[in-house]
Amino acid sequence: MKPTCITLGSYDMTVYCTVCKEELTRTHTTLPYTGHTLKAMPEKAASCTEKGNKAYYFCTACASCFKDAAGTVEILDTSEWFTDALGHNWADWKVAKKSTVQEEGEEERVCKRCGKKETRSVARLGVASYTVTVKAGDHGSASASAATAEAGAAIAISAEPYGGYQVSQVTYTPKGGLAANITSAMNFTMPAANVTVEVSFKPIPDGYYSVTVMNDGNGTASAAPVVGLSGTAVTLTAAPKDGYQLKEWQVLTGGVAVNDNKFKIGTANVGIKAVFVKDSASAYLFTKGNGAAWTKGSGETLDFTVKGSPDDAKTYARFTGIVVDGKNVAAGNYTASPGSVNISLKAKWLESLAKGEHTIKVKFTDGSAEAKFTINPFGTAADQTRFDSVAVPSDTFTFRKVWIGDTEKSIDFTLYKQGGEVYHHGFDKKIVNNREWRYNAWFSSPAACYVVEKPIPGYQTKYVNVGIYEHITDRCCDGGTIINKKIPKTGDEFNPAL
- Whether 496 maps to a domain, the answer reads no
Task: State yes or no: pLDDT of 415 exceeds 50.
Answer: no
Say whether pLDDT at 472 is over 70: no
CATH number where 358 lies: 2.60.40.10
The predicted pLDDT at position 138 comes to: 93
Cβ contact 169:191 at 8 Å? no
pLDDT score for 291: 80
User: Do 353 and 457 share a structural domain?
Assistant: no
Q: Please report, for residues 95, 147, 160, 410, 448, the alpha-carbon distance to residue 124 in angstroms, rounded to integers and kept in the order given.
A: 14, 11, 28, 46, 40
Taking every pair of C-alpha atoms in the chain, what is the biggest distance, in angstroms? 122
Phi, psi for 206 (deg, rounded to 5): -55, 140
Does 497 map to a domain? no
Residue 385, phi then psi, degrees to nearest 5: -125, 25
- Residues 301, 354, single domain; the answer is yes
Same domain, 48 and 96: no
User: What CATH number is attached to the domain comprising 458?
Assistant: 2.60.40
Range of the domain at 303: 283-376
Asked if residue 347 lies in contact with residue 298, where contact means CB atoms within 8 angstroms, the answer is yes
Do 64 and 117 lie in one domain? The reply is no
Amino acid 312: pLDDT: 85
* Judgement on whether residues 70 and 94 belong to the same structural domain of the protein: no
Residues 91, 71 within the same domain: no
Same domain assignment for residues 270 and 287: no
State the burial class of residue 442 (Cβ atoms within 10 Å of its Cβ: 0-12, 13-18, 19+): buried
Q: Is 94 helix (H, G, I), strand (E, B) or coil?
A: strand
The tally of domains found in the chain comes to 5
Averaged over 472-488, what is the pLDDT?
39
Q: Which residue has the higher pLDDT, 328 or 484?
A: 328
Alpha-carbon dihedral angle through residues 262, 267, 269, 275, given to the nearest 10 degrees = -30
Task: Measure the CA–CA gap between 303 and 385, rounded to whole angstroms.
Answer: 22
Q: Is 8 helix (H, G, I), strand (E, B) or coil?
A: coil
294 in the same domain as 258:
no
Final residue before a domain boundary, out of 337, 361, 376: 376
Q: Are residues 314 and 390 in the same domain?
A: no
For the segment 301-317, the average pLDDT, to the nearest whole number, is 88
Q: Within a domain: residue 492?
A: no
pLDDT at 276: 87
> Is residue 418 left, alpha or beta, with left meaning phi > 0 and alpha meaning psi from -120 to 50?
beta
Same domain, 128 and 189: yes
Residue 494 within a domain: no
pLDDT band at 92 (very low <50, low <70, confident <90, very high): very high
What is the pLDDT, as a whole number, of residue 131? 97
Whether residue 162 is found in the same domain as residue 245 = no
> Exposed e or buried b for every residue in 183-222, given b needs 16+ CB within 10 A?
eebbbbebeeebbebbbbbeebebbbbbbbbbbbbbbbbb
Q: Please name every residue paired with 263 in a beta bridge, in sequence order, or none if there are none.
A: 234
The mean per-residue pLDDT over the stretch 285-305 comes to 85
| pLDDT at residue 280 in the model | 61
Q: Which of 6-15, 61-70, 379-388, 414-423 is least confident?
A: 379-388
pTM greater than 0.85 (yes/no): no
Query: Which pLDDT band, with edges at 50, 70 and 90, does 462 fall under?
Result: very low
Note the pLDDT of residue 409.
37
Average pLDDT, integer, range 474-495 = 41
Q: What percent of the chain stands above pLDDT 90?
A: 38
Same domain for 124 and 195, yes or no, is: yes
